Structure 1
Amino acid sequence: MSGVSSAGERTVLAVAAHPDDEVLGAGGTLSKHADAGHEVHVLVVTEGATQQYDDESLVAQKRRETEACARRLGVSEVHFGDLPDMRLDDVPHVEVNAVVEEAVEQYRPEVVYTHSDREVNADHRALYDSTLVATRPGSGVERVLAYEVPSSTDWTGGDRPQFAPNVYVDVSDHLDAKVEAFAEYESETREFPHPRSAESLRARARTRGAAAGVEAAEAFSLVREVRESV
């Protein structure tokens, strides 16, 4: 089981395709980083609305919700890439790369959280690939972790590879912060038993916690780690 160290100053970047991915996947962990005194940044790469809803005013609403969520979690700053929602697989790969690379170069994070490639959502898979480019060896990033997104990662079916976590962060003391932060996304919350409901988020955290021997946890897949010592 892996936790979040409070030793030293650290900078953390959470990369999300859409508003709410960051809190669904790593909200408790980001809150834990913030409480440890780490500098936490969130990058939302798309505007998150226009391809799903026929109402461009939702772009502004989701931006407000993202910022409110970030305040709840203790995030230092939120950044928006404004690429087209649900179309990252159509955007030239180099353009998606550039959005993530700019954030990595500007904020120099040691730890990056991003989407898994074990996904039903094409935007998520595209962003995973771009994160690999932006955090390649020599970028200064020491650790890259992929998170799961309820209603996306867990809907990958058939014989496709499924999300397989191998890192767990104890968020027992930060689960309430995660659920309360997600509640700021009024446009995204659903009624139980939908995965994007407060009850489902708590149930998932309890299940992941049971797998790790703690009260509540968030699960990640380790993508890359660079160590100076063993």
Structure 2
Amino acid sequence: MSLSLSGRRTASWVTTCAVFATACGSVPDASPDASGPDGGAPDARVLDAAMPDAPILDAAPPDASPPVAYEVAYVNEMTFDADLGVVDVASFGLLVNAGELPLDLSTAKVLTFSDDNATVGYEFSLDNDADAQLHKGEAAGALSPLAQQVIISSGLVTEPVVDDSVAFRLNLTNIPTGNFDITARAVLSINDAPLTLEFQIHLESGASTQFSATRVGNFD
């Protein structure tokens, strides 16, 4: 569009000059004289003034690495017997690589954990002996039989589990008698990419252990 508009403007300007030249005589050449003194070699200063500076092209950006993309399928809702006083549950989550970049399982760690109950002691950790790379479409993690029912048998995770060297662990201490709920969270990190996990923990006197699971990603 800009070239076409420029062409029309140039054509109009030339036509006007041609009419003016016919009516008024020759039009002196207004372009700078590139010849040197006495008609010799062209003056470099004149040539520099006559030629516009070439545009500076932006350097091509370096190739960007693919983003870290992973998901965690884990038991997010759990019920325990409050009469036990202490709960120690492990092996209830899987890490799934959902991106092109391999995940270094040895970098999997817990950054922070917290809960909304001032009485019960809550701690979330990872038992991690892994040193493998997790590739796209692969899962890793250890699962208890009950966790396997709600994560694998339910179809929540269909990717092949290629490593079981990472195990989620949750501890509850100083549990009072009675029935009450705890909302808790933990922030994981793999390849320096964080992901927050949310938990609903139900403590009921005489209850049997029950699990429900979900799947979340760091790109959601």
Q: Which has the higher contact order (CA 8 A, sep 6+)?
A: 2
Q: Normalized against structure 2, the TM-score is what?
A: 0.29
Q: State which structure, 1 or 2, has the greater radius of gyration over its C-alpha atoms.
A: 2
Q: Normalized against structure 1, the TM-score is what?
A: 0.28
More strand by share: 2
More helix by share: 1
